[in-house]
Amino acid sequence: MIFSVGLAIVALQATAFATPLASPLDSRASVAFTPPAQGGGSMLDDAGNGLGEPLNVIISGLSSPSVLTDNGFLNYAQSLGFSTECFGVHLGGPQAANLGDGNGFVNQTTELREDYGNEALGTCLESLVGGNHLRMYRQNGPSADTGALFLAVSREQPITQSHDIIPNGYDIGRDELVANATKQTSNAGVTYSATASTITGLLPTGSAGVNHGIALDGNVVLLTVKTL
């Protein structure tokens, strides 16, 4: 009897160790993203003045999981020529976005600037002369936990122009990022490949409600990024 009970305990222990631990990603919907408007959100963030800036690039939730983490996204962005702000200093307040995922308005997770080929100091040059820059938001709320990353990308003017957006700067910034993303890129030993598709109907066309009164073409680019 004791021998039989012992075998049962061993069997239970073996079963416990053989059962894999659930990943937090397992519960995520197997979709690229959920349109924010479906949950009462918007594809314009809140620039704090009653206007917004377009979320004009989406990193698909079907991308390689490592790309969708904070550190993984930073490494990927660095492969595209972006890096953290000059000495970690940010002038101006964060912008918030409502991605319709049940979290309401949430401040940007990170803000990155063009690094002009120098991850350590290049963003200091961008702060002076202007360049491309992005804000990242993550769709991970209880009603739309896709893990997709929504980017507000724009090309800025130099500091002498208060970092205002250049004419047509939202569409230009988006197109510059996508042009780099669709090439094979690498950083810190990780190589990336991305496919792009253009989505219409998520953003309005024109300048109504858009920060700085800059008109949009209404296009959003969905990037599915894979590590090789």
Alpha-carbon distance of 145 to 43, in angstroms, equals: 17
Place of tokens 């308005």: 105
Tell me what pLDDT residue 158 has.
81
Which token pair is 152?
């507000």
Phi, then psi, of 190 in degrees rounded to 5: -110, 130
Place of tokens 């990943």: 23
Alpha-carbon distance of 115 to 86, in angstroms, equals: 9
Tell me what pLDDT residue 49 has.
86
Angle at 33 between CA 224 and CA 102, to 5 degrees: 145
Contact of 80 with 136, CB cutoff 8 Å: no
Tell me what pLDDT residue 9 has.
36
Longest Cα–Cα distance in the chain: 85
Tell me what pLDDT residue 71 has.
98
Residue 175 DSSP SS3 = helix
Tell me what pLDDT residue 3 has.
37
Render pLDDT for 167-192 as a digit per residue (tens, 0 to 9): 999 999 999 999 999 999 999 999 99
Residue 210 DSSP SS3 = strand
Render pLDDT for 51-96 as a digit per residue (tens, 0 to 9): 999 999 999 999 999 999 999 999 999 999 999 977 555 556 789 9
In this predicted structure, the answer to whether residue 124 has a pLDDT above a threshold of 90 is no
In this predicted structure, the answer to whether residue 24 has a pLDDT above a threshold of 50 is no
In this predicted structure, the answer to whether residue 195 has a pLDDT above a threshold of 80 is yes
Tell me what pLDDT residue 92 has.
61
The region of weakest confidence among 6-20, 28-42, 117-131 is 6-20
Contact of 52 with 98, CB cutoff 8 Å: no
- As a whole-number percent, the residues of the chain with pLDDT over 70 amount to 83
Contact of 132 with 82, CB cutoff 8 Å: yes
Average pLDDT of the chain to the nearest whole number = 87
Place of tokens 């492969």: 79
- As a whole-number percent, the residues of the chain with pLDDT over 90 amount to 70
Residues with Cβ within 8 Å of residue 223, at least 6 apart in sequence:
57, 58, 59, 60, 63, 178, 181, 194, 195, 196
Place of tokens 């949950």: 39
| CA atoms within 13 A of residue 98's CA, in its CB half-sphere | 12
Render pLDDT for 134-171 as a digit per residue (tens, 0 to 9): 999 999 999 999 999 999 999 998 877 666 899 999 99
Report the length, in residues, of the chain: 228
Q: How many CB atoms lie within 10 A of CB 200?
A: 10
